[in-house]
Amino acid sequence: MEGLQAIRWSGFWASSIAIIVVLTGLALLPSFGAGAVPSGPNPPLGVHLSYLDDPSTAVITWYTASASTSRAEWGRSLGPPYEFHTSGTDYSSPGSSFLHRANLTLLTPGARYYYRVGDAAMSSVFGQASFRAAPPKGAADTFTFAAAGDWGNTIQTLTTSNEIAKRNPNLVLPLGDLYYSHTEPGVKGTYDKWQIFAQSAFLQSAAGNHEVDESGSDNTPTGIHCAYSNLPGNERTYAFTWGNTYFVTMDWGGSTTNKS
């Protein structure tokens, strides 16, 4: 146990979803936490952070109910105004939903940032929210992460998301079987609930056997999953380093015996 003395864990259950929080040295608007408020006629929804293995960068992804431009503003101090801003990338999902992605750059690793996202004129906005940038690679900074699998657009996911947000983790790792929906409304509903914590924690999801291109109402096409995720590599099998800890995510397809 000598090498594990820096690790503490606590667990809780929300229905069938098991949550572990680890402290280590290694189409209705949903409820929004952390002080962030959506406003305007076409506000950002399902807002979530993701990490591309570069501590100086954070990615924010969201969707809107109708076509929109995109913009992000961020800085070390409460705003607006903010020190930095950028135009986002606007793109369509396989189901023709309106998705947006913004890369927040020039971050100081480990520092806290405040941000808001919206359209180019900021007439529809989500914010302000905050997050802590990833620590420098190799740093022994203490951090927290939550991990859970078998989600879906359910009241249990809402309950679990609220409980995770209370613990204010740096990372959240959804461990596959994320949406249980073959169409995008179920995917959007899940991200609406994840937004409660993912506006402030990096969302690094893993594809499960229900995120595959197979028939069935509870299987989500891989292309839809990837369109909303914005993760490293091919977004299904990838790795990243957080401080002095290395995370690996494997996509086994529809079965753990799949050798492809």
CB 48 within 8 A of CB 62: yes
pLDDT at 160: 97
Tell me which architecture the domain covering 6-249 has in CATH. Answer: Sandwich (2.60)
Residue 152's pLDDT band, with cuts at 50, 70 and 90, is very high
Residue 257's pLDDT band, with cuts at 50, 70 and 90, is low
| β-bridge mates for residue 39, sequence order | 125
Distance CA 186, CA 45 (A): 14
pLDDT at 254: 66
**Angle, CA 238 vertex, CA 236 and CA 239 arms, to 5°:** 150
The chain-wide mean pLDDT, for the chain, equals 87
Phi (first) and psi of residue 181, to 5 degrees = -145, 135
In the predicted model, is pLDDT for residue 150 greater than 90? yes
Per-domain residue ranges for the chain?
A: 6-249
Residue 93's pLDDT band, with cuts at 50, 70 and 90, is very high
Q: What is the pTM of this model?
A: 0.85
Q: Report which of residues 213 and 153 the model is more confident about.
A: 153
Amino acid identity at 117: V
